[in-house]
Amino acid sequence: MLDVDPSQLEHAVHDLQSQLRDGLVAADVLDLTTGISLVGFNSNPQASALFTLMTEQVNKMLEGIMYPGLHRYFLLDLHSDHSAVVVRSGEDLLVTMLIDNTKTTLGILLGVAIPKLLATLDAARR
């Protein structure tokens, strides 16, 4: 069982909404071991399950080719000016986001939103 402060997880999603505004289409904070959403915005259970499995598989593939494993995040460039962003926090939390690229910038996402998100998730464990 995860030992996290649920209010901090809610705060993390609220911060994403504040920073990315209309650019944040959906977000979920997941228990990485189960793929279950702990808190979300426009949650998508299928996406949660898919990205949990995908994160595990990408790590296994990287290990198989002797690359370093995933660190903090990966980004998928999707059709229709959207991106899927998967942020890993430790061995137990995963955050998935669907981003509308026409309504936010990569600079805000990578330079502001993700670092703040990681700090909030770290604080949630204390």
Q: Determine, yes or no, domain membership for 1.
A: no
Q: Determine, yes or no, domain membership for 110.
A: yes
Is residue 126 over pLDDT 80? no
Per-residue H/E/C for the chain: CCCCCHHHHHHHHHHHHHHHHHHEEEEEEEECCCCCEEEEECCCHHHHHHHHHHHHHHHHHHHHCCCCCCCCEEEEEECCCEEEEEEEECCCEEEEEEEECCCCCHHHHHHHHHHHHHHHHHHHCC
Q: Determine, yes or no, domain membership for 82.
A: yes
Mean pLDDT of 12-25: 97
31-49 pLDDT tens trace? 998 889 999 999 999 999 9
Mean confidence (pLDDT) of the chain = 95
Position 27 scores a pLDDT of 98
pTM score, whole prediction: 0.94
Q: How many domains does the chain have?
A: 1
Is residue 115 over pLDDT 90? yes
- Structural domain boundaries, residue 109: 6-124
Position 2 scores a pLDDT of 79
77: domain CATH number? Answer: 3.30.450.30
